[in-house]
Amino acid sequence: MSKKRVVITGMGIISPVGTGTEKFWQSLIKGQSGITKITHFDASQFDAQISGQVKDFNPLDHFSTKEARHTDPFVQYAIVSSREAVAMAKLDLQNIDLDRMGVIIGSGIGSLQTLEQEFEKYLNRGPKKITPFFIPRIIINEASGQVSIDTGARGPVTCVATACATATNAIGDAYRFMQFGDADVMIAGGTESATTVLGVGGFCSLKALSQRNDEPERASRPFDLERDGFIMGEGAGVVLLETLEHAKARGANIIAEICGYGRTSDAYHITAPEPSGKGPAKAMEFAMQEAQLQPDQVSYINAHGTSTRLNDKTETAAIKVAFKEHARKVPISSTKSMTGHLLGAAGGIEFIAATLAVRDDIIPPTINYETPDPDCDLDYVPNEARKLTVNTAMSNSLGFGGHNASLLVKKFQE
C-alpha cells in the first residue's frame, strides 16, 4: 500500500534552557547553558550535585491547586507541552475527528518523586496513609493518557519506554501509525522529571554523572577529551504530527516533514553501548534508506552526545560506519551540552532542535568543546552556532539496554 506523508505542524517544549519552543531555540543558538546546582533536594552528600532543572515552570499557571497536587511533574510537563504544540498548529479540537487523533508520549523513568514520598509515608505512618493517587501518579502511560483526556484524542493512545531512546521511538512510532492510516493527527514525544534522591543517587552509583560540581555551566562537554559524565535534565518535548492530506485540508502551516525512521538493538549490554557502533549505525542507515537519501544529502546530525566516555566514542564510530567518507563533512552537534540529558524526553527536545535547524537554516553548537579527543575527531560545531542551509537533519538517540533510534526531517516541498 502507498504510505502517507507525515508533516510537523506544532511543537511544545519544557526544558532547562526555557519553557516554550522559541525561548528554547533562542537559548540553544546563543549557546546558553541551563545547568545549575541541584535545588530539588539537598545534594551535598552526592558525587554529582548539578543538573538541568526546569526553572520557569509554575504548575499553578496551568492547573488548579488540586490538579497540581494530584499530578506528577512528568505528566504536567507532557500536558503543557502538548497544549503548546496544539496551539502552535492552530488545531481546532472542536472541529476534527478525534477518533482519528492519537497520543504517544513516553518516559524513561516516570515518577521517582512520588515513589520516594509515599514510601516514606508508609515507613513513618503505615500503609493506610498511602495516597489513592499513588498508582495514577507514577505509571508512565499516564502522560499519554492524561494528554488524551486533556485533548479528547480517542485514537491510538499508548506509550514507549526505551530509556534514553524513548521520545525518538515515540515520534517514530507515531509516524509509522500515520503512514499506514491508523491516525490523521498524533501528539508524540517524551517527558521526564527524575532529578530526585533515587534518580541522582542511582546514576551516581553507576558512575555515569559528571562531578564537575564547581563549574555547572561547563560540565556537559560532549566529545571533549575532558568529559567526565552526563548531567541529568528534566522537561518534555512533543510534536504535533499530521498526515499531509489532513494538514493541507485545514490550511495548516507546515514546519517540516518527517522522511525517515530507523531503530535497532545492540543486543549487547544492559548499560554500555556495543563498541563498534554497528547498532546505531544501522539505525541511521535504515532512516536514510527510507528517506531515499545518500549520506552526503544529510545536512546536519543532532547527536545523542551524552558527554560520557563510552557514548561519545561509540556514536562517533557509528557515524563513521553509516556516513563513510561524508562523516568528516557533515556538521554534528550535541545540544545536551546546554540542556543536560533529559533521559526519556531527550529525543523529543532534540528532534525539535533538528526540526528548527531545518526551519531556520542554523545549527546549534556543542558548547564547552575545548580539548579535542582523538577518538572523537569529527565536526562537532564547537561553541558557536553555524549558519548553513539545512535541507535535512537527523536526530539520534541511544538508550540503556541497547536501544538505538534515528529520525530524519526535511524541508517540506509539495
Q: Which residues are catalytic?
A: 164, 304, 341
Instruction: Give 69's contacts (C-beta < 8 A, 6+ positions apart).
Output: none
CA–CA distance, 7 with 412 (Å, rounded to integer): 8
DSSP alpha helix (H) spans, 139-185: 142-151, 166-179
- Give residue for cell 546546554: 338
Distance of CA 258 to the CA centre of its chain: 16
Beta bridge partners of 362: 387
Question: Is there a contact between 260 and 288 (Cβ–Cβ < 8 Å)?
Answer: yes
Alpha carbon distance, N-terminus to C-terminus of the chain:
21
CB within 8 Å of 248: residues ≥ 6 apart: none
Closest CA to 235 of 122, 383, 352: 352
- In the numeric block, which cell numbers belong to residue 192? 521526564
Take residue 17 and report the three cell numbers written for it: 534552557
Backbone phi and psi for residue 161, each to the nearest 5 degrees, phi listed first? -140, 90
CB 367 within 8 A of CB 408: no
Q: Is residue 285 within 8 Å of 291, Cβ to Cβ?
A: no
State the greatest distance between any 2 C-alpha atoms of the chain, in Å, as a whole number.
Answer: 64
**Would you say 319 and 301 are in contact if contact means Cβ atoms under 8 Å apart?**
yes
Place of cell 545492540: 266
The DSSP-derived string for 68-127 is: HHHS-HHHHHHHHHHHHHHHHHT--GGGS-GGGEEEEEE-SS-BSHHHHHHHHHHHHH-G
Whole-angstrom distance, CA of residue 337 vs CA of residue 346: 12
Query: For cell 532512516, what's the residue?
Result: 287
Q: Which amino acid is at 45?
A: Q
According to DSSP, the β-strands at 256-265 and 403-410 are: antiparallel
d(CA 367, CA 222): 8
